[in-house]
């Protein structure tokens, strides 16, 4: 007990300085991110940034449900594509033009959420690996519907977005800030969810669903809420993506590679962490975009994506953030001989499960 009390006070003092440094770092990061389009005005560069931010948002939204609960979804494109189509169809049918289309984004979020309720009620009843397969099946249903419901979705021709009266020089910059707002908002929602009671319940479900249920967690309700929240965000970002690209096709709105990319981003960064999917998206999406632009047939990027995925899953299954965190902790403990020798193993032993739970 004595040792642990001493330890806590020691940690309190040691934490305050990194926290101050983190705050300064955050401010610098915020300034850099906001000033980015001013420094790099080339639309080629901002195009990369817009796509990266779109994927930061959707990967974080994916992680909000799948990363926290351990139910890997390969059907997130259902919401992304539906959000895009919702904006396109509503703008066409209600004759909305110009910047008024942005008023349709809440509709895109609502469509995502409304689809997620029956989807979740069916898919979340089954075991975890069956869940993955059902998400794939639902995904294909939606892609086929987008192809087949000609009068509604435009079939193979897809939908076009209304023209935005923005000059080509500022078009990308404006979308940079829109997608930045989406990305930041999603990360904030993810942080709040993680800290909330239901965030804890989600992670309890991930660790042992039956035990969580036994302790009084209403598993279905918690899972469904997170699933719907994740779907609403993804639907909204899908709407933004559609307005940026000005076009959606069945195979681009409902793209199997989209789902796999999200999973890869979260795994690369660290499943269930906040910064993991952000870092993963910032690394993978620009790389993928570069390969697609460079080699127009796209097969090479597919091979590389698969190979990268294999490497990560086999050699760094926990992702960059947890692995790096472990290295930093190891370095710190090595450079701190002041910790009493007897306390060190005790600290490790008592810390490990707590850290595990926080992840």
Partner 1 sequence: MARQIYQAIVDGILVGGVYALMAVGLTLIFGVLDIINIAQGVLVILGAYLSYELSVRIHLDLFLGLLVTVTAMFVIGVVIQWAFIRRLRGRERTSMTLLVTYAVALIIEGVLYEIYGPNPKQLNASYVQSSVHVLGFYLSYIYLYGFVLALALVVAIYALLYRTRFGRSVRATMQDETAARLIGIDVNRVAAVTFGVGVAVTAAGGMMFGATNAFNPNSGYDLISRLLAIIILGGLGSIGGALVASVFMLTLESLVTIWSPEWAIVVFYAALVVVLVIRPAGFFGRQPVRAQ
Q: How far is the CB of 121 from partner 1 (least distance, A)?
A: 9
Q: How far is the CB of 214 from partner 1 (least distance, A)?
A: 12
Q: How far is the CB of 128 from partner 1 (least distance, A)?
A: 5
The stretch near partner 1 (CB under 8 A) out of 85-93, 170-178, 240-248, 305-313 is 305-313
Q: Strand, coil or helix: what is 88?
A: helix
Angle, alpha carbons 171-232-92 (nearest 5°): 55
d(CA 84, CA 146) in angstroms, rounded, equals 11
d(CA 8, CA 22) in angstroms, rounded, equals 20
Q: How far is the CB of 136 from partner 1 (least distance, A)?
A: 6
The stretch near partner 1 (CB under 8 A) out of 35-43, 133-141, 183-191, 277-285 is 133-141
Indicate whether 221 belongs to the interface with partner 1 (CB under 8 A): no
The only residue of 57, 132, 226, 248 in contact with partner 1, by rule CB under 8 A:
132
Q: How far is the CB of 277 from partner 1 (least distance, A)?
A: 15
* Size, binding site for partner 1 by CB under 8 A: 41
Q: Strand, coil or helix: what is 324?
A: helix
The only residue of 90, 96, 114, 136 in contact with partner 1, by rule CB under 8 A:
136
State both tokens at 308.
């990268």
Indicate whether 11 belongs to the interface with partner 1 (CB under 8 A): no
Nearest CB to partner 1, comparing residues 136 and 343 = 136
Taking alpha carbons only, the member of 68, 56, 73 closest to residue 279 is 56
Burial of 287 by CB count in 10 Å (0-12 exposed, 13-18 middle, 19+ buried)? Answer: middle
Taking alpha carbons only, the member of 284, 249, 266, 282 closest to residue 321 is 266
Contact 240/182 with Cβ under 8 angstroms? yes
The stretch near partner 1 (CB under 8 A) out of 19-27, 55-63, 221-229, 313-321 is 313-321
Indicate whether 300 belongs to the interface with partner 1 (CB under 8 A): yes
Nearest CB to partner 1, comparing residues 148 and 348 = 148
165 contacts: CB under 8 Å, gap ≥ 6:
98, 99
DSSP 149: -
The only residue of 141, 185, 220, 289 in contact with partner 1, by rule CB under 8 A:
141
The only residue of 157, 192, 303, 346 in contact with partner 1, by rule CB under 8 A:
303
Q: How far is the CB of 108 from partner 1 (least distance, A)?
A: 23
Q: How far is the CB of 297 from partner 1 (least distance, A)?
A: 7
Terminal alpha carbon distance of the chain:
25
Q: Where are the alpha helices (DSSP H) in the chain?
A: 2-39, 43-62, 68-69, 77-93, 105-123, 128-148, 150-153, 168-195, 197-207, 209-214, 219-245, 250-253, 256-269, 275-294, 299-315, 320-334, 343-358
Burial of 344 by CB count in 10 Å (0-12 exposed, 13-18 middle, 19+ buried)? Answer: middle
The only residue of 148, 170, 196, 350 in contact with partner 1, by rule CB under 8 A:
148
**Residues 93-122: x/- map of binding to partner 1 (CB under 8 A)?**
-----------------------------x
Q: How far is the CB of 179 from partner 1 (least distance, A)?
A: 27
Indicate whether 40 belongs to the interface with partner 1 (CB under 8 A): no
Q: Name the residues that contact partner 1, by CB under 8 A.
A: 70, 72, 122, 125-130, 132-134, 136-138, 140-141, 144-145, 147-148, 209-210, 256-257, 260, 263, 267, 297, 299-300, 302-303, 305-307, 309-310, 313-314, 317
């Amino acid at each position: 007990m004595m040792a642990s009390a001493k330890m806590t006070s020691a940690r309190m003092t040691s934490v305050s300085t990194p926290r101050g440094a983190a705050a300064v770092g955050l401010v610098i990061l915020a300034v850099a991110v906001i000033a980015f389009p001013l420094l790099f005005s080339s639309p080629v560069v901002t195009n990369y940034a817009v796509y990266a931010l779109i994927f930061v948002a959707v990967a974080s939204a994916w992680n909000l449900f799948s990363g926290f609960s351990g139910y890997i979804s390969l059907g997130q494109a259902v919401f992304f594509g539906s959000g895009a189509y919702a904006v396109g169809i509503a703008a066409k049918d209600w004759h909305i033009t110009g910047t008024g289309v942005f008023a349709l984004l809440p509709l895109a979020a609502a469509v995502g959420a409304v689809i997620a309720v029956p989807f979740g009620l069916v898919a979340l009843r089954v075991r975890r690996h069956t869940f993955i397969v059902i998400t794939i099946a639902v995904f294909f249903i939606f892609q086929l519907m987008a192809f087949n419901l000609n009068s509604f979705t435009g079939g193979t021709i897809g939908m076009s977005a209304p023209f935005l009266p923005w000059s080509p020089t500022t078009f990308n910059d404006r979308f940079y800030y829109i997608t930045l707002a989406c990305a930041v908002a999603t990360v904030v929602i993810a942080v709040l969810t993680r800290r909330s009671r239901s965030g804890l319940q989600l992670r309890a479900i991930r660790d042992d669903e039956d035990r969580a249920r036994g302790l009084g967690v209403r598993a279905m309700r918690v899972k469904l809420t997170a699933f719907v929240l994740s779907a609403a965000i993804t639907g909204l970002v899908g709407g933004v993506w559609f307005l940026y690209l000005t076009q959606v096709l069945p195979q681009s709105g409902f793209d199997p590679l989209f789902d796999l990319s999200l999973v890869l981003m979260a795994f690369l960064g660290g499943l269930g962490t906040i910064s993991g999917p952000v870092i993963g998206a910032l690394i993978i999406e620009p790389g993928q975009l570069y390969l697609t632009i460079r080699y127009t047939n796209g097969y090479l990027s597919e091979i590389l994506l698969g190979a990268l995925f294999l490497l990560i899953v086999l050699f760094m299954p926990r992702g960059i953030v947890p692995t790096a965190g472990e290295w930093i902790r190891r370095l710190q403990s090595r450079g701190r001989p002041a910790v009493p020798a007897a306390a060190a193993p005790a600290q490790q032993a008592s810390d490990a499960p707590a850290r595990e739970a926080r992840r």
